[in-house]
Amino acid sequence: STPLLRAIDLCKEYRLPRGQTLRALDNVSLEVMPGEVLGLVGESGCGKSTLGRCLLRLTDLSSGAIIFDGQEISSLGERAMRPLRRQIQMVFQDSYASLNPRRRIGDLIAEPLRVHPDENGQKRSRAAIDARLAELMELVSLPASALARYPHEFSGGQRQRINIARALALSPQLVVADEPVSALDVSVQAQIVNLFTDLRERLGLTYVFIAHDLAVVRQISTRVAVMYLGAIVELGETDAVLHKPAHPYTAALIAAVPEPVIRHGTSLTLLRGDIPSPISPPSGCRFHTRCPKAEARCSAEAPELRPLQNDHAAACHFPLMDSL
């Protein structure tokens, strides 16, 4: 089958005062197949949120192309983009910030239904909107009575259910979720992750799921992309990446997770040092300043993301072959 979403050589640069440039995305390419969950992981500041926003065209690219459902969307103007907006929706980390506190839940969820016409290009009737609101409440397991209440009357987990209902209002194909459970208590996190999984099965959704918590990513993702300083350093099926990491950075991220959340092999490599500034990233492999495996070649030559085995790829001159 063909990918639902293709990102090709995405670059995003920010010009800073004093002539400096921050390269937030550095030649990122990936594909998302229909029905899969691509987990995007990495430390904060690695570019995963920027990538999510660029995929939705909420942030403009500096270069590169995005193809959604066979259509090049990266060069579309806002007007041409509008009918596609219903197909791609985003759920954010902060469940409260994305809900206007002065408006009732029913109004907030109905907003996209009022703005966008229905499948036949018609404005939706009041009755059609009410029927859809009832369906959406059922989908996210909230009582219909919630529609008449205000955001502050709900817990963080309930507010995230409300945000999910709103994201699903127009029956999108793709949902980009940016750390949607990071602000929630651990017990509530599991419920929301389960809800995402249920909804994917029921509605045939496709997700790009951004998270820094590897346990969450392991639970929900079918494939994982690991990012470091704006680039993808490892990409593959979730089991392969999290249990047999090939990139030393991935191995270090996993080693930093307290057991028994994720268990893997024997070599324990902990991350040393801070993430370098993306304004003046290290030469060659950007991870060489922190990598326990670094050799002379690593600071001289940037490794390409290349396939190692099956669909497992890593950007490293000396991948952890014992893992493969």
Among 223, 303, 305, 312, binds ligand SF4 (CB under 6 A): 303
Nearest to Mg ion of 51, 298 (CB atom): 51
3-state SS string for the chain: CCCCEEEEEEEEEEECHHHCEEEEEEEEEEEECCCCEEEEECCCCCCHHHHHHHHCCCCCCCEEEEEECCEECCCCCHHHHHHHHCCEEEECCCCCCCCCCCCCHHHHHHHHHHHCCCCCCCCCCHHHHHHHHHHHHHHCCCCHHHHHCCHHHCCHHHHHHHHHHHHHCCCCCEEEEECCCCCCCHHHHHHHHHHHHHHHHHHCCEEEEECCCHHHHHHHCCEEEEEECCEEEEEEEHHHHHHCCCCHHHHHHHHCCCCCCCCCCCCCCCCCCCCCCCCCCCCCCCCCCCCCCCCHHHHHCCCCCEEEECCEEECCCCCCHHHC
Nearest to Mg ion of 109, 229 (CB atom): 229
Nearest to ligand SF4 of 173, 269 (CB atom): 269
Least separation in angstroms between CB 247 and ligand SF4: 6
The number of residues that bind ligand SF4 (CB under 6 A) is 13
Least separation in angstroms between CB 317 and ligand SF4: 4
By a kind-dependent CB cut-off of 5 to 8 A, residue 287 interacts, out of ligand SF4, Mg ion, none, with ligand SF4
By a kind-dependent CB cut-off of 5 to 8 A, residue 163 interacts, out of ligand SF4, Mg ion, none, with none
Residues 157-216 that bind ligand SF4 (CB under 6 A): none
Nearest to ligand SF4 of 48, 317 (CB atom): 317
Nearest to ligand SF4 of 158, 250 (CB atom): 250
- The residues binding Mg ion (CB under 5 A) are 49
Residues 227-286 that bind ligand SF4 (CB under 6 A): 247-248, 285
Least separation in angstroms between CB 273 and ligand SF4: 13
Least separation in angstroms between CB 43 and Mg ion: 10
Least separation in angstroms between CB 287 and ligand SF4: 4
By a kind-dependent CB cut-off of 5 to 8 A, residue 37 interacts, out of ligand SF4, Mg ion, none, with none
Measured in whole angstroms, how far is the alpha carbon of residue 235 from the centre of its chain?
14
Binding site for ligand SF4 (CB under 6 A): 247-248, 285, 287-288, 291, 293-294, 298, 303, 316-318
